[in-house]
Amino acid sequence: MLEALRIWFHRLTGRRFLCDTCRYDYPGACHRPERPNAVSCPDYRRR
């Protein structure tokens, strides 16, 4: 429920998720459960 609210909030404010611009945003590279909707991530690398 909290996660759904967070996704809704970020859609509403026009913010994108970190995964959208992360070089690891594909299943072979990232096994985090928050992908593709991470809003904070210690492994984030801009591609």
Contact positions toward ligand SF4, by CB under 6 A?
A: 18-19, 22, 24-25, 30, 32, 34-35, 38, 41, 43-44
In the complex, the smallest distance separating the C-beta of residue 28 from ligand SF4, rounded to whole angstroms, is: 11
User: Looking at beta carbons only, is 8 or 16 nearer to ligand SF4?
Assistant: 16
Least distance (Å) from ligand SF4 to the CB of residue 16? 11
Q: Does residue 36 have a cis peptide bond before it, meaning omega lies within 30 degrees of 0?
A: yes
